[in-house]
Amino acid sequence: ALMIAKVGNQAAVRVNGALVAQLGELGNPTYDAAKAAQLVVVPATLLRRDGLNELSIDATLQRQRAGGLSMILYGPQAAMNAVALDQFRWRFVGPLVIALSLAVMGTMALALWWRQRDPLYGTFGLAAWLGVLRNLDQVWPDVPIPWPLWGAVVAICYACHLAMICRFTLGALNLVTRRMARFIATVMGLVTVLAAASFAFGQPQLWTLGLALLVPLGVLSCANVFQAAWVRRLP
């Protein structure tokens, strides 16, 4: 068996000219094989007795979609099954558990916001559900939204998730001043525009710039939290 940690975004795997795996349709962006590690079982009848076997992989990639080809492991199927199980736990179960946890907590927070109209619950509920979409994208190979539109949606959700978590943390400590609220809103607006433009025009550096804008927001939020913790512990 072959163990391919990452291949994509669509691929066809052949051994000695025989097709052993079709991972999506080549050139069709509706499927992204890079979302999961691929275990490809090779029938023993395809292997040559002299040991000179040819492996070929044809792949098609979409821009800004993290496609490509990783190192390939091969060996007895039982050994590769163990590697595949480990990859499955980290790359599928992990993000799925996080997504489900965020969905439950986000739903509870929004329910409390609906009853009490406390902005703190609304902030966390929105942040949680933005994180749900981000984590589901890690394990969802055939999203019904076309690429690169889906890439822009996920990027915007990811950036706003981080910004909203900062706002929630500061809000829980009563540290959201008008200036800080405007700063957070400005960062979210700028990152949203940069992410949309990045995927619309094929300019990945714009998305990198958007991520860079989140850094000072995170640093400032942490500084405010540490300062509050230090001051409030004094008599």
Alpha helices in 138-203 (DSSP H): 149-172, 178-201
Residue 234 has pLDDT above 80, yes or no: no
Assessment of whether the complete model's pTM goes beyond 0.85? yes
Can you tell me the distance from the alpha carbon of 207 to that of 229, in angstroms, rounded to the nearest whole number?
33
Phi, psi of 66 (to 5 degrees): 55, 40
* Per-residue pLDDT at 233: 65
Phi, psi of 59 (to 5 degrees): -135, 145
Residue 96: count other Cβ atoms within 10 Å of its Cβ: 15
* Per-residue pLDDT at 119: 95
Structure tokens belonging to residue 133: 């979409």
Q: Render pLDDT for 104-132 as a digit per residue (tens, 0 to 9).
A: 999 999 999 999 999 999 999 999 999 99
> What is the band of 231 on the pLDDT scale with cuts at 50, 70, 90?
confident
> What is the band of 49 on the pLDDT scale with cuts at 50, 70, 90?
confident
Helix or strand or coil: residue 41? coil
In this prediction, residues 74-89 reach a mean pLDDT of 94
Q: Give the single-character DSSP code of 212.
A: H
Q: Render pLDDT for 27-47 as a digit per residue (tens, 0 to 9).
A: 999 999 999 999 999 999 999
> What is the band of 51 on the pLDDT scale with cuts at 50, 70, 90?
confident
Q: Render pLDDT for 140-178 as a digit per residue (tens, 0 to 9).
A: 999 999 999 999 999 999 999 999 999 999 999 999 999
Structure tokens belonging to residue 55: 């492996």
Name the strand (E) or helix (H) holding 105: helix 94-116
Can you tell me the distance from the alpha carbon of 66 to that of 62, in angstroms, rounded to the nearest whole number?
8
